[in-house]
Chains A and B, each alone.
Chain A
Amino acid sequence: MSARWLRPAVRLGAALVLPFVVPGLITGLIWALPGDPASIICPPELCSGTEALAERWNLDKGPWHFFSSWVSGALTGDFGNSWRLQQGIPVAELLEESIPTTAALVSLGLLLLILGATGAATRWLPAKLDPVLQAVGLVPAVVMAMSAAAALTIGYGVEQYSDQANLLRLGLGALALGLADAALSGTVTGVRGLMESERRQRYVQMAILRGEGTLSNALPNTLPALAGQMRARTLHLLSGAVVVEVVLQINGLGDLLWGGTLAQDFGVVLAASFGFAVLSAALLLLQALVEIGTELHVRRSPGGVVA
């Protein structure tokens, strides 16, 4: 296979494998740890009738049976019921409630990053601002989220769970997510560095002399790298969403995952982490498609040029 197709091919392969990596990892860890898997999942001091539980949770016939039965259920949308967090409630229902909230939170955070990336690429955002953004980016998500929670408590008091406050909660959460842990500053400096080095390329300068635009020439060559950067930043936002949702009490996928972890609810954690992995796989797929599309575009003869 040609080297230029290797990266997209690896990404496509990784996107297909990724959703099953986390359930596989959990299954592997459960069986790798010393002791009976049912006792690990539900210690005897907390649960009685471990054998019956092992049978109900498909833990009694080895790791492959557990993994394959969970995956075959998940592929049909059946994630089973919550084991402990909200005992008996179908996990699919919990996912349905939480995914739109997390999607809204991460999308709003991503909007901030896209604005920053566009500003940096077009030089609309002055480079003098970079040190300020970098200083703000040093603040960890937990501190940023705490500040947002404090602002809500001070601003709304006992009314902090009203519809208006919840909307503001989402906005502040997205702001915290976008600014903390160098999300925005990393995006701005990364995109600026990439675009500025491309602008210095001879072909771009020749294009300027011909009266053509800089971006229209530089963008096709930088698009794969930009797509990679934005995917990494989106992943970063997904990861940070767990902290922001718990601190700001936003009922999203991250909050569900955290609750499931604290309650040792493997049913919820498996499903929530599968949800995160599917989102991540979709991002990988998107990046691979951008890379393939760009490669096809730049290999085509430009319009008006006779070969």
Chain B
Amino acid sequence: MPGAPAGRVNRVLPASLAAAGLALLLVPGFFAPEFLSEPDMANAFAGPGAVPPFGADQRGRPLLEYATQGAWVIALPSLVAALVVMALSTVGGLIACAGGRHVQTVVQIISEILGALPRLVVILVVALVLPRDGRGLLPIALTWAFLSAPGAIDEASAVAARLGGSRFVEALRAHGFSRPRIYLVHLVAFNLRPVVVRQGVETFMQVTFLEIALSYLAVVSNQSSFTHADSVQSWANLLDLGYKVVLGVHSGHALALGLGLVALVAVTAVAVTHAVRAR
């Protein structure tokens, strides 16, 4: 794009990739069937050519339904977790600029204790105490978000401290800017944005991978998942089905789809991070 600022040109590709990736991850979930189709043994382990676009499972059911149901499982909880982390890290950055030393000390103590807990251990504790009818990814995702928040707050505070903290606000006040403009535009939009969005996207990716991990562990243990109902299939089921290729089962297409979805999440996260980076 001749004549355009270099920063803008460099963002076009990652921003396009990020938008496409997020659309591919989130939109299919809204078209997910409530239950998988009836088995059709004639199509057992059929490839993408016979049952387009991704092939079929051991009972001839389309893998597309697994993919859309998996997207439905992760979509809302991952987004909510990302938003919580973004909100808390923004507040952390603002507190660092507001200059309240006692508040910062209290935040540090809470961060220190929360951040010192191995996250998966706390997640399993939460999963344990959740009543069976209250199980789902949302409480787990929210717990993950609160455990991730100290790191995000720390990073946002560091960005605010590098700007000069309360002196940055005073300097802009001296230039005649209003407080809302200083905090919302100069601080949040111009300076905290890259780190806040990156933290949010990382949380989105982590919650997605957490769901896959918890569901996969449940599948290999022949147990119900903590994250979704038994009638719904997660992307972990695709990986489990695909893994059987090691044992000579013709399920390579399921493995390719499962790994492809994992790669899509990772690529989208990287693309969003690049799209919002500071100039």
Q: Tell yes or no: A69 within 8 A of B by CB.
A: no
Residues of chain A lying within 8 A (CB to CB) of residue B239: 142-143, 146
Task: Decide: A247 and B113 in contact? CB cutoff 8 A.
Answer: no
Given contacts A235-B116, A239-B119, contact A26 B125 (CB under 8 A): yes
Task: Decide: B223 and A22 in contact? CB cutoff 8 A.
Answer: no
Cα separation A6 to B259 with both chains bound (whole Å): 46
Cα separation A246 to B262 with both chains bound (whole Å): 20
Q: Tell yes or no: A179 within 8 A of B by CB.
A: no
B237-257, CB under 8 A of A: which get 1 and which 0?
A: 001000100110000000000
SS class, residues of chain B in contact with chain A: helix
Task: Decide: B117 and A21 in contact? CB cutoff 8 A.
Answer: yes
Taking the nearest CB of chain A, how far is it from the CB of B107, in angstroms? Answer: 11
Task: Decide: B220 and A21 in contact? CB cutoff 8 A.
Answer: no
Q: How many interface residues does chain A have, given as a range?
A: 35 or more
Task: Decide: A25 and B113 in contact? CB cutoff 8 A.
Answer: no
Q: Tell yes or no: B182 within 8 A of A by CB.
A: no
Residues of chain B lying within 8 A (CB to CB) of residue A139: 262, 266
Q: Tell yes or no: B112 within 8 A of A by CB.
A: yes
Cα separation A17 to B247 with both chains bound (whole Å): 48
Within 8 A of B (CB), among A1-56: 6-7, 10-11, 13-15, 17-18, 21-22, 25-26, 29-30, 33, 35, 40, 43
Residues of chain A lying within 8 A (CB to CB) of residue B278: none
Taking the nearest CB of chain A, how far is it from the CB of B20, in angstroms? Answer: 18
Task: Decide: A40 and B131 in contact? CB cutoff 8 A.
Answer: yes
Q: Which of A11, A154, A269 is the one whose CB lies under 8 Å from B128?
A: A269
Q: Tell yes or no: B218 within 8 A of A by CB.
A: yes
Residues of chain B lying within 8 A (CB to CB) of residue A122: none
Residues of chain B lying within 8 A (CB to CB) of residue A269: 124-125, 128
Cα separation A181 to B269 with both chains bound (whole Å): 13
Closest A residue to B105 using CB positions: A6
Q: Tell yes or no: A276 within 8 A of B by CB.
A: yes
Task: Decide: A25 and B125 in contact? CB cutoff 8 A.
Answer: yes
Task: Decide: B116 and A242 in contact? CB cutoff 8 A.
Answer: no
Q: Which of A35, A142, A238 is the one whose CB lies under 8 Å from B216?
A: A142
Q: Tell yes or no: A138 within 8 A of B by CB.
A: yes
Task: Decide: A22 and B117 in contact? CB cutoff 8 A.
Answer: yes
Residues of chain A lying within 8 A (CB to CB) of residue B236: 142
Q: Tell yes or no: A257 within 8 A of B by CB.
A: yes
Task: Decide: A258 and B124 in contact? CB cutoff 8 A.
Answer: yes
B109-129, CB under 8 A of A: which get 1 and which 0?
A: 100110111111110111111
4 more contacts with CB within 8 A, not counting A6-B105, A247-B216, are A139-B266, A142-B217, A261-B127, A283-B116
Q: Which 7 A-B pairs have the closest CB atoms?
A: A140-B209, A138-B266, A142-B213, A239-B120, A239-B118, A29-B129, A14-B112
